[in-house]
Amino acid sequence: MSVKLFFQALIKYLVGVVLVGLLLFLPAGTLNYFNGWLFMAVLFVPIFIAGIVMMVKNPELLKNRLESKEKQKDQSVVVKLSGLMFMIGFILPGLGVRFGWYVLPEFVTVIGAAVFLVSYLLYAEVMRENAYLSRTVKVEQNQKVVDTGLYGVVRHPMYLATVIMFLSMPIVLGSVYSFVVFLVYPFLIAVRIKGEEKLLENELDGYKEYKHKVKYRLFPFIW
């Protein structure tokens, strides 16, 4: 276990907790915010557990997941727009608490939390199947095409998991207004996928054949 990697992961995790907490609770003007605490729990507890598992079993995968700086200009734009979406999408629910905007019923937010956790399970399965996963668009040395499991259904199951995850976030937070903002995400992911596939076709042996084998990019029988 690398001490440097451990502290790098821990610092990034704590920064994420603080940042999301500020975005949620400062606009709300109160800590008495059930949806905010529920969201923090379903988001960060699984991340912590997954981080520990990766640290012990696959430190290289954890290292790849911590890398977030995109080198490609078009992908960098997508990441920045996604960051803006998250910022607005997290601030709006807090403002809703402060100003008494409509909040989704509690049972709906609980269902949203369950869907969110299911997306984490999908994400975990993708990471189990594909040891080359990275937060940035790149091709690793000796990387091979993965075409089994979820990769035999759609070409980008990781992005499918994130779409489910991110669209369930505003439901957990109880905000219809935030949900409208997060509807931008599937379109951003579509742009990212098109750029990523161009790179994979050019640099990853066997990817063109894989595209013919698995027709759908993100949603089975749709796209």
Q: In terms of pLDDT, which residue wins out, 87 or 73? A: 87
Q: Which residues contact 52 (CB under 8 A, 6 or more apart)?
A: none
Confidence band of 140 (pLDDT split at 50, 70, 90): low
Q: Which residue would you say has higher pLDDT here, 106 or 205? A: 106
What pLDDT score does 67 carry?
65
Three-state DSSP class for residue 155: coil
* Residue 121 tokens, joined: 């399970």
pLDDT per residue over 37-58, tens digit each?
999 999 999 888 887 877 777 7
Segment 123-151 shows an average pLDDT of 73
Q: What pLDDT score was predicted for residue 93?
A: 95
Q: Which domains does the chain have, with CATH numbers?
A: 3-213 (1.20.120.1630)
